[in-house]
Amino acid sequence: MTEETKPFEPVMIGFTCNWCSYRAADMAGISRMKYAPNVRLIRLMCSGRLDPTFVFKAFAGGADAVLVSGCHPGDCHYATQNYKAMRRFYLMKRVLNQLGIESGRIKLLWASAAEGQIFANEITKFVEEVRALGPLNWNKTSAEIPVETKEEVTA
């Protein structure tokens, strides 16, 4: 294939927590499930450890999308820190939107250690959504950026 006909392969960063979502990814791996290879996973001890700076740095460094994942609400290894991650996620998404990054480029995903299949499916779905959005484009005028702040959290 020539350069032009190659499909766009988004570069994506995924933050997982040590106790649930990273183990879901592990489960997907040892069960030999197939899913899109575009997401580079980074393991944190907890989704509550996710400093929004990490996400901003990923986008500044050329990522097309960022995945934030952790234990289901109520299941956090550190009691309530995934709620903190959720609150930060919603605020971060609003700010990123104003800064010119579409809402579809950041996703929050809850996955337990047993949900390897769900994790794999959601990643494949997310990669296709970002592929449809195309590469991160900074040159839009503010009027061209769709304002959308409320979105369902998946899984």
Site membership for other proteins, residue 146 (CB under 8 A): no
The CA distance from 109 to 100, in Å, is: 22
Please give the residues from 105 up to 144 whose contact with other proteins meets the rule CB under 8 A: 136, 138-139, 141-143
CA 68 from centroid of its chain's CA atoms:
4
SS3 assignment, position 61: coil
Q: Which stretch binds other proteins (CB under 8 A): 6-14, 38-46, 54-62, 109-117?
A: 54-62
The CA distance from 34 to 145, in Å, is: 33
- CB nearer to other proteins: give 24 or 66: 66
Please give the residues from 3 up to 42 whose contact with other proteins meets the rule CB under 8 A: none
- CB nearer to other proteins: give 17 or 101: 101
Identify the residue among 10, 68, 69, 88 touching other proteins (CB under 8 A).
88
DSSP code for 31: T
Site membership for other proteins, residue 49 (CB under 8 A): no
Where does residue 131 rank: exposed (0-12), middle (13-18), buried (19+ CB within 10 A)?
A: middle
Tokens of 74: 């109520």
The amino acid occupying position 88 is R
Token pair 């040892």: residue: 30
CB of 88 to other proteins, least distance (A): 4
Site membership for other proteins, residue 51 (CB under 8 A): yes
Residue numbers of the site for other proteins (CB under 8 A)?
51-53, 55-57, 59-62, 73, 80, 83-84, 86-88, 90-92, 94-96, 98-101, 136, 138-139, 141-143, 149-150, 153
